[in-house]
């Protein structure tokens, strides 16, 4: 039987989503495992390959898998390695030969790997909001802030395969928050889901302003979103602050690659009713006049799990 299926895997800080994709781009079966319950890569690979073999068996896909595409934080397209992935419990400062390890665990099925945000960009270009665009920047707002940059229809990998780490451009030069990467003031430290929740907690600590968030033990970005939807003033201000910082950063990104659009994706991007306004006004106030009002802010319309799986799977077709 022809090998007419591919597997797409999206490795996030908390969960790993994987699915089998057919040639039409339909996800025929998918599953999720935890990413963050392992301190070493070996048991994680064992769990992941077990899950893949289960969905292969369940869908009757034995012998039909042409290849596996993986989107992972700090994934290196050229080398198939994950390096310095500080957002992964089993990542740390090591270099992990991930593609090789997974291929071995999957009885030799070839594996291709890239940055999770690059994979999402490919998914969005092939199936989503960036269809037909040749120049756009994908920003993923999740546990971290990731990015995939597409220039002239191709993902920018750079000299070493690691291009597109816009979450670690500097937003606050002096006295900025410490980021997971070891630097201070990174965009990610403010505008990831975790960064936004931290903003809310800091503001609650620093003021007496009443807020629905005060009754909660542990505040997440979803709590801030839910409170904002109920009209909670402090939560709305947290979104304004986060969106303004994103818009200011986007103005710098535009000066780099002059994209047609910036596409937002990931958990936090669901809050588009609160983010679009401050992003657009800060971006247009901070960008060179020639781009003012010209660069679209687009929110992904793909289901988050689908886009990431589809994007990663697109790598596998090239194997």
Residues that bind a copy of itself (CB under 8 A): 74, 83-84, 93, 134-135, 149, 151-152, 154, 156-166, 168-173, 181-183, 248, 251-253, 255-260, 286-291, 294
DSSP state of 109: -
Nearer residue to a copy of itself within complex by CB, 133 or 216: 133
Pull the structure tokens for residue 147.
């990015």
CA distance 19 to 123: 14
* Shortest CB 206 distance to a copy of itself, Å: 19
**Beta bridge mates, 31:** 18
Complex with a copy of itself: residue 236 or 258, whichever CB lies closer: 258
Indicate the residue among 83 and 304 with the shorter CB distance to a copy of itself. Answer: 83
Closer CB to a copy of itself, 115 or 235, in the complex:
115
What stretch of H or E contains 102?
A: helix 98-105
Secondary structure element (H or E) that encloses residue 200, with its range: helix 193-206
Q: Closest separation between CB of residue 8 and a copy of itself, Å?
A: 24
Q: In terms of CB distance, is 103 or 171 closer to a copy of itself? A: 171
Nearer to a copy of itself, 173 or 218 (CB): 173
Mapping DSSP to helix (H, G, I), strand (E, B) and coil, where does residue 90 land?
coil
User: Rounded CA gap, 27 and 32, in Å?
Assistant: 13
For tokens 């898998």, name the residue.
65
Shortest separation between residue 268's beta carbon and a copy of itself, angstroms = 20
Residue 26 or 160: the one with the smaller Cβ distance to a copy of itself is: 160
Question: Rounded to the nearest whole angstrom, what is the least distance from the CB of residue 306 to a copy of itself in the complex?
Answer: 26
DSSP of 223-282: HHHHHHHTT-HHHHHHHHHHHHHHHHHHHHHHHHH--SEEEEESGGGG-HHHHHHHHHHH
Full DSSP string of 112-181: EEEEHHHHHHHHHHHHSTTTT-SSEEEEEESSSEEEEEEETTEE--TTTS----GGGSBS--SSPPBPTT
Cβ pair 268, 144 in contact under 8 A: no
The CB-of-161 to a copy of itself minimum distance in angstroms stands at 7
Quote the least distance from Cβ 309 to a copy of itself, whole Å: 26
Q: How far is the CB of 290 from a copy of itself (least distance, A)?
A: 5
């Amino acid at each position: 039987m022809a090998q007419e299926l591919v597997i797409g895997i999206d490795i996030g800080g908390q969960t790993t989503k994987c699915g089998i994709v057919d040639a039409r781009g339909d996800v025929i079966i998918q599953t999720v495992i935890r990413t963050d319950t392992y301190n070493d890569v070996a048991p994680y690979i064992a769990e992941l390959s077990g899950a893949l073999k289960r969905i292969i068996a369940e869908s009757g896909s034995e012998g039909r898998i042409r290849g596996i595409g993986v989107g992972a934080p700090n994934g290196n397209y050229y080398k198939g390695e994950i390096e310095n992935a500080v957002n992964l419990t089993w990542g740390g400062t090591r270099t992990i030969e991930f593609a090789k390890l997974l291929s071995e665990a999957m009885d030799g099925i070839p594996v291709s790997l890239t940055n999770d945000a690059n994979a999402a960009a490919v998914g969005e270009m092939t199936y989503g909001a960036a269809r037909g665009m040749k120049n756009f920047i994908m920003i993923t707002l999740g546990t971290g802030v990731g990015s995939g940059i597409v220039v002239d229809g191709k993902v920018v990998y750079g000299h070493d395969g690691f291009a597109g780490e816009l979450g670690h451009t500097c937003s606050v030069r002096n006295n900025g928050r410490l980021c997971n990467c070891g630097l201070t003031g990174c965009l990610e430290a403010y505008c990831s889901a975790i960064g936004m929740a931290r903003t809310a907690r800091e503001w609650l600590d620093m003021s007496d302003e009443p807020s629905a968030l005060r009754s909660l033990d542990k505040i997440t970005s979803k709590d801030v979103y839910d409170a904002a939807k109920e009209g909670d003033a402090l939560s709305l201000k947290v979104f304004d602050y986060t969106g303004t910082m994103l818009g200011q950063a986007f103005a710098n990104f535009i000066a780099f690659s002059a994209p047609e659009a910036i596409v937002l994706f990931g958990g936090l991007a669901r809050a588009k009713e609160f983010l679009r306004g401050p992003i657009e006004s800060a971006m247009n106030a901070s960008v060179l006049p020639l781009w003012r009002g010209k660069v679209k802010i687009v929110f992904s319309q793909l289901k988050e799990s689908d886009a990431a799986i589809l994007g990663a799977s697109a790598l596998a077709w090239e194997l």
